Amino acid sequence: MIHLLSKIGIVTFLCYLTLSCGGGGSEATTPAAPTPPIIDKPVELPVDPFQNIPLQSTIKKVQPMTGIVLWDNHEVWSSSEKEAMSKAISLEFSYISINQIVTDKGVYNWTYLDNKLAKIAARNHQAIFRLYYAYPGRETTVPNYIKNLPSYNETVGESEGLTTSFPDWSHTELQRFTQEFHTKFSERYDNDNRIAFLQVGFGLWGEYHIYDGPNILGQTFPSKTYQKVFLAHLQKTYASLPWSISIDASNIQNTPFNDANVTNIPFGLFDDSFMHQAHSDYNESAWSFFNYNERYKSVPFGGEFSYVETTDQRNVLKPNSGAYGISYEEFAEKFHISYMIGNDTYTNGSNQEQPITRIKEASMASGYQFTITGFAANTTHTKVTIENTGIAPIYYDAFLVINGVRAEKSLKGLLPNTSETLSLETKVELPTVTIVSEHLLPNQTIEFNADL
pLDDT at position 9? 42
Enumerate residues 6+ apart whose C-beta is below 8 A from 397: 410, 411, 412, 437, 438, 439
- Write out the CATH class of domain 51-57+368-451: mainly beta
In whole angstroms, give the CA distance from residue 146 to residue 139: 13
Q: How many whole angstroms separate alpha carbon 283 and alpha carbon 244?
A: 16
Topology of domain 67-364, CATH: TIM Barrel (3.20.20)
Q: Taking the model in full, what pTM does it have?
A: 0.87
pLDDT-derived band at 23 (thresholds 50, 70, 90) equals: very low
Q: Please give the pLDDT value at position 146.
A: 98
Region 334-356 average pLDDT = 80
What is the 8-class DSSP label of residue 170?
A: T
Q: What distance separates the 2 farthest-apart alpha carbons in the chain?
A: 146
pLDDT tens profile 417-452: 999 999 998 877 778 999 999 999 999 999 999 999
- For the chain, the structural domain boundaries read 51-57+368-451, 67-364
Quick one: angle between helices 172-189 and 224-237, nearest 10?
Answer: 20
Return the minimum-mean-pLDDT range out of 77-81, 102-106, 369-373, 394-398: 77-81
In whole angstroms, give the CA distance from residue 148 to residue 89. 42
Q: Percent of the chain beyond pLDDT 70?
A: 88
pLDDT above 80: residue 44: no
What is the structure's pLDDT at 48? 75
CA distance 366 to 362: 7
